A and B are shown apart, each in its own frame.
Chain A
Amino acid sequence: MHNESKPVWWRTAFLIALGLTLAGSGMLAQAATTLLNVSYDVTRELYKEINPAFIKSWETKTGEKLAINQSHGGSSKQATSVAGGLEADVVTMNQSTDIDLLVGQGGLVAADWEKRFPFGAAPYTSTSVFLVRKGNPKAIRDWGDLARPGVAVIVPNPKTSGNGRYTYLAAWGYAVHKGGNEGQARDFVKRLFANVPVLDGGGRGATTTFTQRGIGDVLVTFENEAALIDKEVGGDKFDIVYPSASILAEAPVAVVDKVVARKGTRKQAQAYLEFLYSAEGQDIIARHHFRPRNEAVLKKYARDFPSLKLFTVESVFGSLAKAQKVHFDDNAIYDQIVIANYRERK
């Protein structure tokens, strides 16, 4: 063994590694007045524009310079994080159940959060629409066509995706609004989901399946997503079809009381969410293909938002929390439907 002639390179590396082991880990630095907005997935571009606009308007009004951090992820995962201690000043979600969680978990959000801002604390909405292949070869015009035999429907998994849940609720609500009773609505939704060949984990997975893999005749998704697909994936390959009626998907916002109380940022957080309702905020929202609440702004962008009959979750299901319990919890109606479909296919 010629030990003395052996190289020392990797031994040095080993020593460096040992040294690194002993080194501690740093903490994140925080600026003077910083707000954290914890939001869901597709709002990154929206708040990229909202935040500078609000910072500017706040500075001209008060002279204070703010910084706003953004956090984006799956809606319920984000809510879990806030409940677990992520110090959000405001939450901007796409399902009221995600904010309800924060009421239940240690009272982070006030119980009456829906009354603290106009329109049930939802500054904008969206709705479920159809994306079909160019020229609409399967002649899909309304929800009824999705339950036709021979039509393949792409929907994200309602068990893991808010987008999928809204699709299910929209189909159910459509059947109810056509005068169907609960049994008929259930049968309709069952036939629709029998046409679903793939249940992707999330909205983007479903989009990829439909647009890139070429599977399915129709993709059901939010209006704002359909517009994004048009822009990013190519509008020459797909058409957007508006059904006769669909669900009003409201995107709720709330101040996280416990956090702003401790950080002393209530004023700023309140003003930030109010800004979403301002003419300027609503204009930015409309430009990102979300339906604004402000009538004047809606009229200005009327071309992007064709009118259709919109029903709320409350009018059909009482509340989103009730719909979750009755339809999407384990062994609830959705599970019964897909298991029945599986048995019949077998």
Chain B
Amino acid sequence: MAGTVAARWQGESLAERYESSTATREPALVKWSIIAVSLTFFAVFLLLPLAAVFTEALRKGWDVYFAALAEPDALSAVRLTLLAAAIAVPLNLVFGVAAAWAIAKFQFRGKQLLITLIDLPFSVSPVIAGLIYVLIFGLQGWCGPWLQEHDIKVLFAVPGIVLATIFVTFPFVARELIPLMEAQGKEEEEAAIVLGASGWLTFWHVTLPNIKWGLIYGVILCNARAMGEFGAVSVVSGHIRGLTNTLPLHVEILYNEYQFAAAFAVASLLALLALLTLAVKTFVEWQASRHFED
């Protein structure tokens, strides 16, 4: 058992372990074919677009690139984007863990219905995702007049942007965890409970270590999308320069101003911010494996 756990801590050693045994490795030809096909697909659909973004961003040189990032409007957009993600991602994280616990560890009627409802925000066109909040909180909407009377700002301010962000990133963590927790079953938790551990302790010491990878991927995806969302946020933001523009909105304005290089520079910054979360993941892995060896 300890061996399996050790392998789980170290992504690299996992591949090593599979490749080291003839029972669990494919013939070299198969292996390299799979790698070749998947990497070609990766290159055509992911690497090339990224390369295109950086080519456009650097078309006018590094000076323009850095000037675009150092602009006060860009910096305030960075701050707002990080703030919205910092609120939306933890909320969806907690929800995701709770939902996955209820759905994966228990049998109840209407489970698939619940899962489908959780999926639903993805299929809602972004503009509609924004529009629903206008229908509710807008001046002509359900609570608009009341909100205005009490001088509470939801739309065209941070709360509206956060709400729209939560909506579009809603399913990520939950949907990442549910299949994983279903595959793992509940024997380990039940054993812990039978042995006298409290529910919280069981979650903390048994479940959380097991779902670590799913959790991390869920958060990374959720965070990337939270920072990159344009459509829904654009409806509720109000686009006030320096106040309610997020990075994707700032990119649009630059693009519409014919500042193509600057627009792509800011977009590349978003890509880099998303990579930052992966750096955090790698750091966590590294810490984890070091800790384990102690």
Q: Is the CB of B288 within 8 A of A71?
A: no
Partner of A6, one of B93, B139, B209: B209
Q: Is the CB of A11 within 8 A of B208?
A: yes
Q: Is the CB of B239 within 8 A of A81?
A: yes
Partner of B158, one of A20, A27, A232: A27
Q: Complex formed: what's the CA distance from A106 to B253 in Å?
A: 29
Q: Is the CB of B240 within 8 A of A20?
A: no
Q: Is B234 an interface residue (CB 8 A)?
A: yes
Q: Is the CB of B204 within 8 A of A11?
A: yes
Q: Is the CB of A28 within 8 A of B243?
A: yes
| Residues of chain A lying within 8 A (CB to CB) of residue B2 | 2
Q: Complex formed: what's the CA distance from A299 to B244 in Å?
A: 40
Q: How far is the CB of A107 from chain B (nearest CB, A)?
A: 11
**Which B94-113 residues sit within 8 Å CB-CB of chain A?**
94
Q: A18-B90, A21-B90 are in contact. Are A71 and B159 (CB under 8 A)?
A: no
Q: Complex formed: what's the CA distance from A215 to B249 in Å?
A: 27
Q: Is the CB of A5 within 8 A of B292?
A: yes
Q: Is B153 an interface residue (CB 8 A)?
A: yes
| Residues of chain A lying within 8 A (CB to CB) of residue B242 | 69
Q: Is A26 an interface residue (CB 8 A)?
A: yes
Q: Is the CB of A27 within 8 A of B240?
A: no
Partner of A27, one of B157, B258, B260, B294: B157
A-contact 0/1 string along B199-211, CB 8 Å cutoff: 0000011101100
Q: Is the CB of A233 within 8 A of B138?
A: no
Q: Is A105 an interface residue (CB 8 A)?
A: yes
Residue from B5, B90, B153, B239 with most neighbouring chain A CB atoms (10 Å): B239
* Chain B binder among A82-90, A115-123, A276-284: A82-90
Q: Is the CB of A85 within 8 A of B258?
A: no
* Chain B binder among A36-44, A91-99, A191-199, A317-325: A36-44
Residue from A1, A28, A84, A229 with most neighbouring chain B CB atoms (10 Å): A84
Residue on A with the closest CB to B290? A7
Q: Is the CB of B91 within 8 A of A21?
A: yes
Partner of A9, one of B1, B153, B239, B288: B288
Q: A70-B240, A105-B140 are in contact. Are A204 and B256 (CB under 8 A)?
A: yes
Q: Is the CB of B1 within 8 A of A1?
A: yes
Q: How far is the CB of B191 from chain A (nearest CB, A)?
A: 9
Q: Is B141 an interface residue (CB 8 A)?
A: yes
Tally of chain A residues near chain B (CB < 8 A): 54
Q: A10-B212, A27-B158, A85-B155 are in contact. Are A106 and B139 (CB under 8 A)?
A: yes
Q: Complex formed: what's the CA distance from A346 to B74 in Å?
A: 47
* Chain B binder among A72-80, A165-173, A182-190: A72-80
Q: How far is the CB of A116 from chain B (nearest CB, A)?
A: 22
Q: Complex formed: what's the CA distance from A207 to B259 in Å?
A: 12
Residue on A with the closest CB to B153? A27
Q: Complex formed: what's the CA distance from A342 to B130 in Å?
A: 33
Partner of B288, one of A10, A41, A83: A10
Q: Is the CB of B138 within 8 A of A84?
A: yes
Q: Is the CB of A7 within 8 A of B157?
A: no
Q: How far is the CB of B8 from chain A (nearest CB, A)?
A: 11
Q: Is the CB of A84 within 8 A of B140?
A: yes
Residue on B with the closest CB to A231? B258
Mind listing 16 A-B residue pairs with CB under 8 Å?
Answer: A1-B5, A2-B2, A7-B292, A10-B208, A10-B284, A17-B93, A21-B90, A23-B87, A38-B239, A44-B256, A44-B257, A84-B155, A86-B155, A86-B156, A202-B256, A204-B258
State the 8 A-B residue pairs at the shortest beta-carbon distance, nearest first.
A84-B138, A7-B291, A85-B139, A232-B258, A17-B90, A20-B90, A41-B256, A71-B239
Sample of 5 more A-B contacts, CB < 8 Å, known A80-B134, A84-B137? A9-B284, A13-B284, A27-B157, A81-B235, A87-B156
Interface residues of B (CB under 8 A from A): 1-2, 5, 9, 83, 86-87, 89-91, 93-94, 134, 137-141, 144, 148, 153, 155-159, 162, 204-206, 208-209, 212, 215-216, 234-235, 238-244, 249, 252-253, 255-260, 284, 287-288, 291-292, 294
Interface residues of A (CB under 8 A from B): 1-3, 5-11, 13-14, 17-18, 20-21, 23, 25-28, 36, 38, 41-42, 44-45, 69-73, 77-78, 80-81, 83-87, 105-106, 202-204, 207-208, 225, 228-229, 231-233
